[in-house]
Amino acid sequence: MNPAPVPPALAVAVIVGGLGLGAWVFVLLDRAATDLVSGRRPSVRPLAPLRRAAFLLVQQRAETERPDRAVWMLAPALYVAFAAVGAAVVPWSARLAPADVPVGIVLWGGVEALAIVAVFLHGWSANAPVALVGAYRFVALGLCFMLVSMFVLIAAALPAESLRLSAIVASQRGLWNVVRQPLGLPLFLFVGLGLTFRGPLDFADSADLAGGVAAEVSGPSLLVWETGRAAMAVAFSAMAAAVFLGGWLGPWLPGPVWLGLKTLFVMALMAGLGRSTARLRTESAVTLVWVGLLPLSFLGLAVVGLEVLR
């Protein structure tokens, strides 16, 4: 069952290359979704993200009064790093798994929790009111939707009888989890929208707060932050593809291609949902998660448990 270990150099290349390419594609998808929602013909300008990156690299760095400078510089980098750690546990095929740790699902939970910490610290460390409001708003929501994520992922691990990602993919050989556990993917997508702050859960660096946690950030730090946002969306999509859409499983094409296609599908779904749904009020979002979604995830877990016992 356990795939042979991948050479470290290849693993790093796969993770960095996959995330970098994915982030670039995701920015294009997001742009296209924005065009579609605002009634324009979707334009694909492949060079636009690179041009913006180059601009941010040479842009002057903004300053606030007495920020926590070390944390302010580190937090966006940590967010990117957690995206990379999360992406590392996703297996590309039965043999190509960059870091197929035996408790991949738990590691992903840790990535979600630490990413929330990074976003909070990013907003907190600027020592500026709008950024702080964004940070608190996000962290209050983050604590709610993370519970949903845990129960949904445990439900996916139950039929596989393993916390290892490759075992969870292999357990979907007969039937993908998206069909077997119909509650799983929609709930997990909601978590993903929260984790990358888009659509209904666009609470961290949204326009209604003039940029929120990123309001005071400019220059290279903003480049790292925006890269992190896109990279986290890619890592999340790859995780969703592996846990619910059967990962590398599929006819005719090789496994990594299938995983790439499925990840692309979830990325498009995230970009579309992110741009086409309105932001909830913070209070309604908290109520929705605790009263609506969390019991639903319990229900899903109970049903899966009964199925496994049968």
**Interaction site with another protein (CB under 8 A):** 66, 68, 71, 101-103, 106-107, 109-110, 113-114, 116-117, 120-121, 124, 127, 132, 136, 139-140, 142-143, 146, 163
CA distance 126 to 75: 11
Q: Closest CB to another protein among 216 and 226? A: 216
Tell me the closest approach of the beta carbon of residue 123 to another protein, in angstroms: 10
Kindly tell me which of 26 and 108 has the beta carbon lying closer to another protein: 108
Per-residue burial over 111-141, b = 16 or more CB atoms within 10 Å of its CB, e = otherwise: bbebbbebbbbbbbbbebebbbbbbbbbbeb
Least distance to another protein from the beta carbon of 160, Å? Answer: 13
In terms of CB distance, is 265 or 298 closer to another protein?
Answer: 298
CB 251 within 8 A of CB 94: no
Nearest to another protein of 18, 142 (CB atom)? 142
Shortest reach from residue 64's CB to another protein, in Å: 10
**Is the Cβ of residue 5 or residue 42 nearer to another protein in the bound state?**
5
Closest distance to another protein from the beta carbon of 137 (Å): 11
Q: How far is the CB of 127 from another protein (least distance, A)?
A: 5
Spatial neighbors of 109 by CB under 8 A, at least 6 apart, are: 146, 149, 150, 153
The residue (of 53 and 74) whose beta carbon lies closer to another protein is: 74
Work out how close the CB of 271 gets to another protein at its nearest, in angstroms, rounded to a whole number: 27
Give the C-alpha separation, 310 to 307, whole Å.
Answer: 5
Enter the tokens of residue 175. Answer: 């039937």
